[in-house]
Structure 1
């Protein structure tokens, strides 16, 4: 019986490593809570839009609890390389320390899936090397730009992306989307950034915009909530107040932008 259990586990892991993106989103190592967010985060369509292939070197920026890690790590396991550029463990910000500790705990719980993950750190000016210079095929970041704008570190962060990518490499960005007329201070306050701001920051770093998609758009979201983007799921910062209204809207309206590092 024990041998059967071991064999079944090995077979399941082998199938996960060999799976398509569609199969990986339904794999048993992803929690029901993670799968429930596919409706809003569209991982298969998003990764295909960014042209992420199984043999690439991919850097994910600030992966948080590892939502995309659960897809990217097994996708790249056999032929590619996955860097998780997380918070530094010696940060003086308690949330950063807790987050990276929880992330590493997640990796340790499924070594058969995550033992190839390479954890680096990003937090300028002390931590800027997210992968060896000129080695990454893709750098991907999901809903992080507002944090860097708030900290005044956007320029340094985008410079790190540029340094890590190969010439011809792709920077993929998904971010909460604000109306273009919204002042920068208000963007930072609400967590919604304008496409113009994000594009300008990328271009200032040397990137060229090559495509954009409405994959992660949500026309129900007018980006005008009392607690900013955190009013909506999954945060629901207002608790039960108007909860049904915000759950009916769903997660935020998001831009999806693809940039290239010129050859």
Structure 2
């Protein structure tokens, strides 16, 4: 009898441990994602980032699938837009959204987004630019399946955003997403308890602060992953410092809009 109890205890413990590991690990990439990553037409500047960005695992984590309508917030050079485009396919849509507050940057992010949308095979991509917290018109409510932002959420709090409301932005995203839709945020972690203190100097944000802000808008945390975590990063250096660039401690959070909010 004692042996049986020990066996059951060991099996249960193993099951709990397995569940915990699974919860922290993104699902395996499907064929569509694998094909998007392997696309020979992706520019070298994108593929050179693959080792540190883990695109197959991150797109799988985002839950983006064929036919989805996706918003890539602050798309930069178009890295994620180019991956989402073939995954959602001809029946899907990808909006490369540039906050109007950064439209005047020297890099001309709106022009870059439009150039990505104009690339061959990107007929399902549209470049858009509006103020960060502009409330969407009712006709746009419940239209998106996934809203994604990569290493930029911390910037929404910076002074160059001209006082844009992050709470207003999160509320707008909540309205835009379909019930059951996902809001995915990947960013550089600040030290625990730092909150918003390092968004501008180190370009980092406390993941606990992100959770609190997003949940305040009505979202629930669906899953988080430690795939991009880096215990060697002590959170004291700017993310562009050569000592940590590409090796920062990053968090992955996937929030869900409740089906019956």
What TM-score do you get using the length of structure 1 for normalisation? Answer: 0.77
Q: Is the 8 A contact 1:62 1:122 kept in 2?
A: no
Are 1:255 and 2:251 an aligned pair? yes
Q: Is the 8 A contact 2:233 2:244 kept in 1?
A: no
Classify the secondary structure of the residue corresponding to 1:229: coil
Q: Please report how far the alpha carbon of residue 31 of structure 1 lies from its aligned counterpart in structure 2 after TM superposition.
A: 1.5
Larger radius of gyration: 2
Q: Select 1:35's aligned residue among 25, 47, 54.
A: 47
Q: What residue number does 1:235 align with?
A: none
Q: Is the 8 A contact 1:58 1:137 kept in 2?
A: yes
Q: What residue number does 1:103 align with?
A: 113
Classify the secondary structure of the residue corresponding to 2:215: helix
Classify the secondary structure of the residue corresponding to 2:40: coil
Q: Select 1:216's aligned residue among 228, 231, 242.
A: 228
Q: Which runs of 5+ in 1 are unaligned?
A: 1-18, 233-244
Q: Which runs of 5+ in 2 are unaligned?
A: 1-30
Q: What residue number does 2:14 align with?
A: none
Q: How many residues align?
A: 225
Q: What residue number does 2:149 align with?
A: 141
Q: What residue number does 1:168 align with?
A: 180
Classify the secondary structure of the residue corresponding to 2:140: coil
Q: What residue number does 1:13 align with?
A: none
C-alpha distance in 2 between matches for 1:92 and 1:39: 28
C-alpha distance in 1 between matches for 2:135 and 2:79: 23
Q: What residue number does 2:241 align with?
A: 231
Q: Over residues 57-100 of structure 1, what are the superposed CA-to-partner deviations in whole Å (9 max), with x where a residue is unaligned?
A: 11111111101011111222323221221234xx6852177111
